[in-house]
Structures are given as C-alpha cells and as structure tokens.
C-alpha cells in the first residue's frame, strides 16, 4: 500500500520531499480556513442586516408611541367631550 509513496520519496530530493509534504498537509488546512472564513463572513452579513432592522424598529418605536398617545387621547375626548382634552389632542397632533 505504501510502496509507491516510499518509492517516490526515495527518488525525490530533499526540497521536493519538503514541498510534497508541505502541499499534502497544507491543502486541507487552506480549504478548512477558506470554509471557516466564508461562514464567518455570512454570519457577519446577517448580523449587519439584523442591526439595520433593529435601528429601523427603534426609529419607528417613538412614532408608534406618539400615535398610541394621540389615539388614547381621542378615545378620552370622545368619551367625555371636554374642551381641555380637545386642546391637548390638537397640541399632541401638532408635535407629531
């Protein structure tokens, strides 16, 4: 089983032996390194997209809060029909 390999190694010079051994052991290492770097890059890209989504949610959250406050005030104004609540609603609507 190892006879062809031993015959090749016996005929090769020292530099050729070193190059052959280096190539045999480094090719799998390079392949694994490339695969790991590719997966890290994909994870980084998905993390960036997630951060962009969280920023968008954060920006819209304040607008949502204002809209809920205005809706709540409108419910109170319709329930009571008081002019002070109507003024507060118009003031909140102007801020938005």
Task: Tell me the three state secondary structure of residue 2.
Answer: coil
H helix intervals, the chain: 3-11, 14-80, 83-95
Averaged pLDDT in 10-residue chunks for the chain of 96 residues: 85 90 93 97 97 92 89 77 73 76
- From the list 66, 86, 67, 64, the residue with the least C-alpha distance to 76 is 86
Token pair belonging to 90: 């118009």
The pLDDT value recorded for residue 87 is: 78
The pLDDT value recorded for residue 61 is: 92
The pLDDT value recorded for residue 80 is: 66
Token pair belonging to 6: 């031993």
The pLDDT value recorded for residue 1 is: 80
| Whether this model's pTM surpasses 0.75 | no
């Amino acid at each position: 089983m190892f006879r062809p390999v031993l015959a090749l190694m016996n005929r090769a010079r020292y530099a050729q032996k070193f190059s052959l051994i280096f190539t045999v052991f480094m090719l799998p290492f390079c392949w694994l390194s490339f695969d790991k770097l590719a997966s890290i890059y994909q994870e980084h890209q998905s993390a960036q997209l997630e951060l962009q989504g969280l920023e968008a949610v954060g920006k819209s959250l304040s607008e949502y809060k204002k809209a809920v406050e205005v809706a709540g005030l409108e419910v109170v104004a319709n329930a009571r029909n008081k002019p002070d609540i109507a003024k507060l609603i118009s003031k909140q609507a102007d801020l938005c």
